[in-house]
A and B are shown apart, each in its own frame.
Chain A
Amino acid sequence: MPWFLYLALKQLFPTGRRFPFFTAISVTGVALGVAVLVIVTSVMGGFGYEIRRMIVQTEGEVQVKANGLMEDPSAVLGMVRASPVAAGATPFVEGPVGAVCNGRPAYPEMRGIDVGSVASVANLARFVRAGRLEDLDDDSVILSWELAQRLGAGIGAEIEVYSPLLFERLKADEIVLPRRLRVAGLFEVGHQHLDSSVAYVTLRAAQELYGLGRAVHGINVRLKPEVGDAEGAQQLQAALPQGAVARPWTHKWESFLWVLNLEKTINFFLLLFIVVIAAFSVMSSLLISVVRKTREIGLLGALGASPRDVALCFCAQAFLIGTAGTAIGVGLGFTVLHFRNQLVQGIAGALQRQDTLRQFYHFTDLPSHTLPSDLILTVVLAILISTLAGLLPAWRAARLKPVEALRSE
């Protein structure tokens, strides 16, 4: 170990001193900044990640749509399934309907799923909280949790469903009756957007409600795990006939994801200032140390140290503080993330605001997903900024003339 590194360590953690006060304060500053950065980027990353998980787990990574209706789904399905990037494909019909139960109305988003093939794309059964997905037939429906609550509909309840087609027929003076569907199950994904107002029916029921015949609105595709979302969509597109387009899930959520990313970037740079401020405190405590140790710095010169090595001794201290602070900060950040739900529930519970939380943030649990790139950026920047804070003290120490330093009282 070069002497300057040894001395840097010894000055930060002196022999026989149980608690190195200056070091602890400097390290704490950096650690707090890094912890906040890790927590915020992880939670922000968690939102993006949860959205992806929610979409992908219920709809697959890629959606194939025609220009308008897809009149011959089986042909397109065959092409999609034959593609080397696709692991599964299922047709769907989607659109708004009116629903009434116990005299209470709602206008949920209806999703017609092909019971036979849906499992190859989405593991919907996972989200079914009451009843069973297998029980879904042409005369039944599975409601999202909040929708069922709003309608006051439990398992076995009957709801009346009005489709836009019925209104068309009413205009033509036909007498039409709403379709009666029995509630076969309730599901909950854990995201407010999906749980508030969605009703799953069979593909056939949806086609009848919308008067589509054999046509569907599109095909949901599950990609093979090793295939990237955008890349998979591109490859599928090449295999599709004219008029059909394959788009990754990000397309539908583009603006949302863009805003999310922007927010994350802004947050990152604002919170990075905590680290910058911590670096200033590192700088000032090292500057004090240079003044306090003037005579020792002179002595090092008398022992044969070069100004460059003296400078490195102080840079090394800043680097060590930065590294220790970053390591502790990352540990602290992940600890807080680990207990984030207990913390949030505790705070929200104390304020009686669990529902508000859910409404505003769409998730029942606070999500967290740490992107390796975010973590690396945080670590590198925090250590870099701390080390830069050592440059001024290092320069002042290197500039001291040993003769004058030794004379100083």
Chain B
Amino acid sequence: MSETVLSASGVRKSYPSGDRRIEVLCGADLRVAAGESVSIRGESGSGKSTLLNLLSGLDAPDSGEIRWDGLAPSAGRRARFLGMVFQSFYLIPELDALQNVLMAGRMLGSPGAESRARARDLLERVGLGGRASHLPAQLSGGERQRVAVARALMNSPSLLLADEPTGNLDERTGEAVIDLLLGLSRETGTALVLVTHNPAHAARTGRALTLHDGLLR
């Protein structure tokens, strides 16, 4: 079996609610191997986004352990290790498509000709080669999400985390984005954790998990 990119063990997270605390995650475990694709389904409010935030190191669990390539998550490693795609795209409105993709690269230093070429290539691969100089406001929802996918892959991360990437898209556009995500992650050997409501999308990943009562199964 290939090496583990991401591991989570006994992860717990609770939020204060009035004078009690609601337990969102109560000991979730997850191992993702390099290049593997995993889907996570669950009811709304079951804690899928909470889990992804912990996996991405943006938030810390109350207890339990997260490991990126066997090491604790750190902000300094995030740009290189991790790409993220969100339900609502989060493109920077002042930057055109190409610059939005390049923005991920800028986190690692001034982009050279090589980075620019890579960003162009990624846009080409998500089918937006001709829209490089368009601002997010000039793109459709599906096109924006494709730019976000290209941005997530910009730094050749080991892991891609996608939180309901098709949530704001119609069925056909959503299908195209899932095609891209699965296709590109397979092509580039990037592990993928995909949170989705759509059983059909979940079925296309290598492993389909469900988050229920704070546990991953």
Contact = CB atoms under 8 A, between A and B. Distances in A.
Given A299-B90, A306-B75, A403-B58, A3 B107 contact: yes
A16 B135 contact: yes
Q: Which of B56, B59, B93, B151 has the most CB of A within 10 A?
A: B93
B44 interface: no
B135 A15 contact: yes
Q: Which of A15, A298, A301 has the most CB of B within 10 A?
A: A15
A15 B99 contact: yes
Interface string B104-138: 10111010000000000000000000000001000
A295 B86 CA distance: 11
Interface string A3-22: 10011001100111000000
A3 B103 contact: yes
Interface string B87-111: 0101011111001000110111010
Contacts of A7: 92, 94-95, 103
B90 A11 contact: no
B136 to A, nearest CB: 11
Nearest to A296: B92
B107 A302 contact: no
Interface in A366-409: 401-403, 406
A302 B90 CA distance: 10
B11 interface: no
Contacts of B96: 15-16
Given A296-B90, A304-B78, A403-B53, A10 B107 contact: no
A303 B58 contact: no
Contacts of A302: 56, 58, 78, 84, 86, 90
Contacts of B151: 303
Contacts of B153: none
B202 interface: no
B79 interface: yes
A3 B164 CA distance: 28
Interface residues of A, number: 24
A116 interface: no
A14 B78 CA distance: 27
Given A3-B107, A304-B75, A403-B59, A10 B94 contact: yes
Interface in B32-82: 53, 56, 58-59, 75-76, 78-80, 82
B99 A10 contact: yes
A404 B59 CA distance: 9
A177 interface: no
A87 interface: no
Contacts of B88: 295
Given A2-B110, A16-B135, A304-B75, A406 B99 contact: no
Number of contact residues on B: which range applies? 20 to 34
Interface string A283-309: 000000000000110110111111000
Nearest to A6: B106
Nearest to A11: B94
A10 B102 CA distance: 13
Contacts of B58: 301-302, 401-403, 406
Interface in B135-149: 135
Nearest to B85: A302
Contacts of B106: 2-3, 6
A6 B90 CA distance: 18
Contacts of B53: 403
A14 B107 contact: no
A259 interface: no
Contact of B90 (A3, A14, A295, A403): A295
Nearest to A4: B106
A406 B95 contact: no
Contacts of B59: 401, 403
A294 to B, nearest CB: 11
Given A10-B99, A306-B75, A403-B59, A15 B94 contact: yes
Q: Which of A296, A301, A303 has the most CB of B within 10 A?
A: A303
A299 B92 contact: yes
A14 B94 contact: yes
Contacts of A6: 106
B100 to A, nearest CB: 10
17 contacts: A1-B110, A3-B103, A3-B106, A10-B92, A10-B94, A15-B94, A15-B99, A16-B135, A296-B92, A302-B84, A303-B78, A303-B103, A303-B107, A303-B151, A403-B59, A406-B86, A406-B90
Interface of B: 53, 56, 58-59, 75-76, 78-80, 82, 84, 86, 88, 90, 92-96, 99, 103-104, 106-108, 110, 135, 151
Given A14-B94, A302-B86, A303-B78, 4 more contacts: A15-B95, A299-B86, A302-B56, A406-B90
